[in-house]
Chain A
């Protein structure tokens, strides 16, 4: 305890106009530790990191590195102090080589007239050797997301950093890639680098970090030793109240029904998937698990006729459907909530009401095809209330809402057509803990009310916590099904990743 902390922050405050984004925040990072920062969206994690990285100036407070007070007026100053930042979003130039990307800031600062590519590549190769097998001469565009993330890390490492900040780096990674990333993070910590790891995934924090600091509403709440803490404790301090259980109650045995709501038989697509058959029973929540890229979304989008050349049968309440276009699917009552809320789920610049009616504008129209604005507004308000959507009024643009409330609008969009079956692709991605639990409760309620719910999720705890039954997809085929006590992360992972040809296991 004699050596001063690598990074010590005390009394840090930052306001944006009337908004106090950080209030008297303290934080301490030791050399060689992996220190998680947890908090709901808006808790101040990103603002704190931006202050440390010199992007935002603090209003008051003290930042010490090795016991000496420093000021960090710019990202360049942060670099000079040995602070590296791996941003949540990948900020690389896709049509430039890996080596050039890694040395972008150095090249930028250099006064040399000509580029010395050979030297760049050699130096890039040395750094990449610590991280994994990436050729420094290839274009960044040709790399997978996880490899690109490694390039981002390599970029931070060129700066000889002693403090490395990761801002939710696993958001875009598969479980396997995330695992690899953590190996690297542990390696770096072993070299004495202090790691700040921002996340709200409890499993990650508890598997990999040494300590966790929790922020809530811009305030410092607590710092806990992971070894002595429980996930419930951390979540409770994140949301400021005890969440009795993260997930809603499952279907009791006596509530189970043999009635088949939706049946898919021998559904195949040219390349994405083949021979998909399953049944969705009344009142249950069915999960679809598997690795990213296994074909989960493609199957579901195929059922809805959103993409692909699909053959096979889909029947609802025992009646076969003939679907050729997603419009048919909507008309039949089968809807799809996309995994990419901002990219293809919502019209961000349009009003909440207009978003909610997008799936079926005819329903808010008069006989002559004219939109009845009052009906549109009332409808939006009614569904909004049903989902406890927090907004000022339904005329405001969706872009002004928080992630959780945006997701509720996306779900409201589905509900506006009184669907019989909803496929939800990653329904809680980028949604904070409180809203997540709320969405899960909504799904359970819908299922009880007779709406078929099918959830695709990459988060195993979510699948296990929410679903009554989980189908596992690997390489475009259903490789198994788990229910009840057999729904464990291990079982699902085995079915999702093992390639035991011909002998697909079904754990029951």
Chain B
């Protein structure tokens, strides 16, 4: 309820509508704002460090966020549906470990990857079951799975990284190769984000995700099977972790049981900076990817400027807080 009363006279209503239009502009402005911030950072950094604007550095930065970007997409969709997943880091690691162990056991690496991705989908379905059928909260279920999956990684490997030196080159190609000078990883990332951005905006399937996250009860009262939607978004997020894990394995040529610790915070932060709401119903792929890029550029810049790693966390946290605070004021003005 606004302070004015429940309704306004026609003049006010007109003013409100104007505000509504500007609001649409503001939403689009979040993306434009992020692009501007990133551009400013680029400009400043190109002066601050001669190395920053080099092809190698650009490539390294892009490689750093490209694979994580796939997980960010899964997280954003899950957040829009009203869920959250803390297990993304350890599920990604688990995908590497499962595929790695199978490969070492003599299984074809492609088949091993497929099995690993399927296993991750299974983990997502497992969490989805607890959330939609048992009625537990995403936060708790995924917290438990985060610990369990990490435990499985350590159990499977004895805590040591698996060296996969015999991976065939055509498999390593997806993680290390390049097409016309552009790393395959980045090609995958770009195709994947464009496709998912399009699907999220345009398909009826994903529209139902927005309805569910915006108001689950209203969605149910519109004939949408909201539990199914939440089950699927939960499963999708873990499945995408599986994909990311397999690509990481191809890129590193190894499977690291401790990989991805703390990844969930980075991924959630990127989605939220990009406009996803923790209460569901809003978020865009473009925004989330820009959030990922921003965090990655900041990390890379700080590293180039020789800022201590310990400072990096503090700065990343501060960016998140700033973005969320801005969001809060924005929403308060709207409400």
Question: Interface on A for B, CB 8 Å cutoff?
Answer: 16, 18-19, 21, 40-47, 50, 56, 217-218, 306, 325-327, 329-330, 336, 338, 343-350, 354, 358-362, 365, 369-371, 390-393, 395-397, 399-400, 402-404, 413, 432
**Assembly CA distance A462 to B19 (angstroms):** 36
Q: For A19, give its contact among B4, B207, B282 (CB under 8 Å).
A: B4
The answer to whether A397 and B20 have CB atoms under 8 Å apart is yes
**Assembly CA distance A365 to B219 (angstroms):** 18
Q: For A392, give its contact among B21, B210, B219, B223 (CB under 8 Å).
A: B21
Additional A-B contacts beyond A347-B215, A358-B222 (17; CB < 8 A): A16-B4, A19-B9, A19-B15, A41-B5, A42-B4, A42-B9, A306-B221, A336-B221, A348-B215, A349-B281, A358-B219, A360-B223, A371-B202, A371-B203, A391-B17, A396-B20, A400-B17
Q: For B211, give its contact among A41, A343, A347 (CB under 8 Å).
A: A347
The answer to whether B215 and A338 have CB atoms under 8 Å apart is no
Given the interface pairs A41-B6, A403-B6, the reply to whether A396 lies near B17 with Cβ below 8 Å is yes
Q: Provide the main secondary structure of the chain B interface.
A: helix
Residues of A within 8 A of B19 (CB): 400
Given the interface pairs A362-B204, A396-B20, the reply to whether A19 lies near B222 with Cβ below 8 Å is no
Residues of A within 8 A of B8 (CB): 19, 42, 402
The answer to whether B203 and A390 have CB atoms under 8 Å apart is no
How far apart are A171's CB and chain B's nearest CB, in angstroms? Answer: 12
Q: List 29 A-B contacts (CB under 8 A).
A: A16-B3, A18-B11, A19-B12, A43-B5, A47-B3, A306-B220, A326-B223, A330-B223, A336-B221, A344-B215, A347-B211, A347-B215, A347-B219, A348-B215, A350-B210, A350-B211, A350-B281, A358-B222, A359-B222, A361-B207, A362-B204, A390-B13, A392-B20, A396-B17, A397-B20, A399-B335, A400-B16, A404-B7, A413-B222
The answer to whether A399 and B205 have CB atoms under 8 Å apart is no
Residues of B within 8 A of A330 (CB): 222-223
Q: Which 10 A-B pairs have the closest CB atoms?
A: A392-B17, A42-B7, A344-B217, A396-B20, A402-B7, A41-B6, A347-B214, A361-B204, A358-B222, A327-B223
The answer to whether A392 and B14 have CB atoms under 8 Å apart is yes
**Assembly CA distance A397 to B16 (angstroms):** 11
**Assembly CA distance A335 to B224 (angstroms):** 13
Interface residue B23 (Cβ < 8 Å from any Cβ of A): yes
Q: For A358, give its contact among B3, B16, B218 (CB under 8 Å).
A: B218
**Assembly CA distance A166 to B179 (angstroms):** 72
**Assembly CA distance A45 to B5 (angstroms):** 8
**Assembly CA distance A214 to B207 (angstroms):** 45
**Assembly CA distance A400 to B211 (angstroms):** 18
Residues of A within 8 A of B9 (CB): 19, 42, 217-218
Interface residue B137 (Cβ < 8 Å from any Cβ of A): no
The answer to whether B221 and A345 have CB atoms under 8 Å apart is yes
Residues of B within 8 A of A397 (CB): 20, 23, 334
**Assembly CA distance A404 to B6 (angstroms):** 10
Listed residue (A19, A360, A393, A399) with the most chain B CB atoms within 10 angstroms of its CB: A19
Residues of A within 8 A of B222 (CB): 330, 358-359, 413
Interface residue B30 (Cβ < 8 Å from any Cβ of A): no
B20-39, CB under 8 A of A: which get 1 and which 0?
11011000000000000000
Residue in chain A with minimal CB distance to B208: A361
How far apart are A402's CB and chain B's nearest CB, in angstroms? Answer: 4
Interface residue B225 (Cβ < 8 Å from any Cβ of A): yes
The answer to whether B214 and A395 have CB atoms under 8 Å apart is no
Residues of A within 8 A of B203 (CB): 369-371
Per the 8 Å Cβ criterion, residues 93-112 of B in contact with A are none
How far apart are B23's CB and chain A's nearest CB, in angstroms? Answer: 7
**Assembly CA distance A402 to B16 (angstroms):** 11
Residues of A within 8 A of B218 (CB): 338, 343-347, 358
Listed residue (B18, B207, B220, B282) with the most chain A CB atoms within 10 angstroms of its CB: B207
**Assembly CA distance A391 to B18 (angstroms):** 11
The answer to whether A21 and B5 have CB atoms under 8 Å apart is yes
The answer to whether B220 and A326 have CB atoms under 8 Å apart is yes
The answer to whether A47 and B7 have CB atoms under 8 Å apart is no
How far apart are A187's CB and chain B's nearest CB, in angstroms? Answer: 30
**Assembly CA distance A336 to B215 (angstroms):** 16
How far apart are A189's CB and chain B's nearest CB, in angstroms? Answer: 26
**Assembly CA distance A373 to B130 (angstroms):** 36
Residue in chain A with minimal CB distance to B3: A16
Residues of B within 8 A of A396 (CB): 17, 20-21, 23-24
Q: For A46, give its contact among B6, B15, B24, B204 (CB under 8 Å).
A: B6
**Assembly CA distance A370 to B223 (angstroms):** 19
Residues of B within 8 A of A50 (CB): 3
How far apart are B276's CB and chain A's nearest CB, in angstroms? Answer: 13
The answer to whether A354 and B15 have CB atoms under 8 Å apart is no
Residue in chain A with minimal CB distance to B198: A370
Residue in chain A with minimal CB distance to B18: A392
Residues of A within 8 A of B11 (CB): 18-19
Residues of B within 8 A of A370 (CB): 202-204
How far apart are B195's CB and chain A's nearest CB, in angstroms? Answer: 13
The answer to whether A402 and B3 have CB atoms under 8 Å apart is no
**Assembly CA distance A269 to B201 (angstroms):** 40
**Assembly CA distance A397 to B330 (angstroms):** 14
**Assembly CA distance A354 to B24 (angstroms):** 14
**Assembly CA distance A56 to B3 (angstroms):** 9
Residues of A within 8 A of B205 (CB): 369
The answer to whether B217 and A371 have CB atoms under 8 Å apart is no
**Assembly CA distance A365 to B8 (angstroms):** 35
Residues of A within 8 A of B211 (CB): 347, 350, 354, 358
**Assembly CA distance A8 to B250 (angstroms):** 80
Given the interface pairs A41-B5, A370-B202, the reply to whether A393 lies near B210 with Cβ below 8 Å is no
How far apart are B25's CB and chain A's nearest CB, in angstroms? Answer: 11
Residues of B within 8 A of A46 (CB): 5-6
How far apart are A183's CB and chain B's nearest CB, in angstroms? Answer: 29
How far apart are B129's CB and chain A's nearest CB, in angstroms? Answer: 20
Residues of B within 8 A of A350 (CB): 210-211, 214, 281
**Assembly CA distance A390 to B14 (angstroms):** 10
Q: For B225, give its contact among A327, A371, A399 (CB under 8 Å).
A: A327
**Assembly CA distance A217 to B12 (angstroms):** 11
**Assembly CA distance A350 to B207 (angstroms):** 11
How far apart are A238's CB and chain B's nearest CB, in angstroms? Answer: 13
Residue in chain B with minimal CB distance to A390: B13
How far apart are B278's CB and chain A's nearest CB, in angstroms? Answer: 14
Q: For B204, give its contact among A45, A349, A369 (CB under 8 Å).
A: A369
**Assembly CA distance A338 to B19 (angstroms):** 29
**Assembly CA distance A334 to B300 (angstroms):** 57
The answer to whether A42 and B281 have CB atoms under 8 Å apart is no
Residue in chain B with minimal CB distance to A215: B5
**Assembly CA distance A402 to B13 (angstroms):** 9
**Assembly CA distance A43 to B26 (angstroms):** 31
How far apart are B180's CB and chain A's nearest CB, in angstroms? Answer: 30
